[in-house]
Amino acid sequence: MTHAHVHIIACGGTIAGKAESEKELIGYKAGKLTIEELLQSVPEVTEYADITGEQFCNMDSTNMTEDLWLRLARCVEAAADRADVDGIVITHGTDTMEETAYFLNLVVHSRKPIVMVGSMRPATALSADGPLNLLDAVHIAACRQAGEYGVLVAMNGRICGARSVEKTDTTHVDTFRSRQMGYMGIIQNGIPYFYQQSLRRHTYLSQLSCQGITKLPAVCIVYCYVGMSPALIRAAVASGVQGIVTAGLGHGKIPEAVLKELKIAAQQGIVTVCTSRTLGGIVSTTEDDSGFFRIAGDNLPAHKAKIVLQLALLQTRDPNTLQQFFDLY
Ligand SMILES: NC(=O)C[C@H](N)C(=O)O
């Protein structure tokens, strides 16, 4: 049987993390092992696929940047375009994995499997979860069918879609879930089983792109709470953003004094999108008496709505067209 060729792009994270002792699960340094050392810890991967690897970066994903995203997207697309590569695994820290996954899900236009993986325990830990997660990710990336579902996150035996995946626990291994939409599938004993797929556009169906872009439009997030100051909106405007995403209360509601500032921002051409801090349910569009149209982030959390807005702003500033992107992606 000929093996699939899986190319691994390593970005660091806890899966490449090292601590002083095997009992240390928190005080470790992420992004220390190289791709070669990572692979040495799971020699079994070569039984299931022909493996090549490249070190894209080696960092704690807390420090991921949008500039690195743009470069990573190019790197993933270049690997996917190679005729000899069947699937791609990206090792990455878990803190920002859901954002990187969704960004790549929107801008890498490929039908080949792209699987992101990390770990919650450092490589040096007793019962480190990285090696099995990596082996699972390779199995999934070697499975052609996996390319139909967009960028996937494979952790702890679960396969999540990039749009709905969320990190739900600070330190435990069962952290990645898709609480609203459910898992895409499960991997058991090296076999991926798929049960559902997203109807929202992704990868080979996406018309969002970052090709030729050297900088994403600046968009910030403002989290709403009792006692928040409208000065936060003024500060955002002063920082030169093109868009503001609010993580609002309930159905995306914003305290009146803050809303007033947002309207002023909108009059200055700053696009505003509302999401909810409830992290469940949909925020729908509304238009108030003054004609202030709120673009709604659907059921996306603020940090994912921000990504759609940044990519959509590369194509339009028309509120209705911007809204369509949120309806489709
Ligand atoms: N579990 C992890 O990977 C956390 C780490 N801080 C990172 O995101 O790189």
Identify the CATH number of the domain defined by range 219-328: 3.40.50.40
pLDDT digits (tens, 9 = 90+) for 51-74: 999 999 999 999 999 999 999 999
**Which ligand 1 atom is the nearest neighbour of the CA of 121?**
1
93 Cβ closer than 6 Å to some ligand 1 atom: yes
122 Cβ closer than 6 Å to some ligand 1 atom: no
Query: Ligand 1: which of 58, 94, 167, 169 to mutate, most ligand atoms within 8 Å of CB?
Result: 94
Contacts of 251 (CB under 8 A, 6+ apart): 276, 281, 283, 284
How sure is the predictor about 290, in pLDDT bands with cuts at 50, 70 and 90? confident
Q: Please say whether the dihedral angle defined by the alpha carbons of residues 83, 87, 92 and 94, taken in this order, is positive or negative.
A: positive
94 catalytically annotated: yes
Q: Encoding tokens for residue 162?
A: 């990039």
95 labeled part of a ligand binding site: yes
Q: What does the DSSP 8-state code read for residue 253?
A: B
H-helix or E-strand spanning residue 93:
none
5-205 shares its CATH topology with 219-328: yes
Q: Encoding tokens for residue 93?
A: 């820290």
14 catalytically annotated: yes
Per-residue pLDDT for 237 more than 70? yes
CATH architecture of 5-205: 3-Layer(aba) Sandwich (3.40)
- Read out DSSP for 137-194? HHHHHT-GGGGGG-SEEEETTEEEETTT-EE--SS-S--EE-TTT--SEEEETTEEEE
14 Cβ closer than 6 Å to some ligand 1 atom: yes
pLDDT digits (tens, 9 = 90+) for 168-188: 999 999 999 999 999 999 999
Query: Ligand 1: which of 14, 121, 153 to mutate, most ligand atoms within 8 Å of CB?
Result: 14
* Domain ranges, ordered by start, for the chain: 5-205, 219-328
pLDDT digits (tens, 9 = 90+) for 32-45: 999 999 999 999 99
Q: Encoding tokens for residue 258?
A: 């803050």
Q: Model pTM?
A: 0.97
Catalytic member of 34, 52, 62, 94: 94
